[in-house]
Amino acid sequence: MPRSTPPEVVDDVFRYTTKAGHLIEIDLDIPAEVFKKSMADEAVTEEQQFAPVKTWLPKKTQDAFEQMGGLERARFFRTFFTAFQSAAAMPLGESFSSSTTSGSTETS
């Protein structure tokens, strides 16, 4: 199994490495129309809320998502929506990298 890395947000881009080793990157600045569909009253589960976002993602990312098992999807949803809520609460003009690091996004 590939080495997993913890999910992270850098410059408002959510990064998640699946168990299979696929990197999923999602810009949290989701288009307004996609966000509106995602937050519709009919969307009661996290999977239903994520469905409009998923259709907006590149095919490669959609394919990586489809390969996830149930437990991994549950963890992904929880982590993704938490990251989105945190990003939405930040002041305009800031991003995770400008608020939580000293400007460096390099990892060893």
| Model pTM score | 0.75
Domain boundaries, given as residue ranges, for the chain: 8-90
SS3 string, the chain, reads CCCCCCCEEECCEEEEECCCCCEEEEECCCCHHHHHHHCCCCCCCHHHHHHHHHHHCCHHHHHHHHCCCHHHHHHHHHHHHHHHHHHHCCCCCCCHHHHHCCCCCCCC
What average pLDDT does this structure show over 62-87? 93
Q: What is the pLDDT of residues 13-55, one digit of tens each?
A: 999 999 999 999 999 999 999 988 888 766 578 898 999 999 9
Mean predicted lDDT score pLDDT of the chain: 82
Tell me the pairing of strands 13-17 and 23-27.
antiparallel
Supply the pLDDT for residue 93: 59
Tell me the β-bridge partners of 26: 14
What average pLDDT does this structure show over 9-13? 90
Higher-pLDDT residue of 98 and 48 is: 48
Is the pLDDT reported for residue 59 higher than 70? Answer: yes
Is the pLDDT reported for residue 106 higher than 80? Answer: no
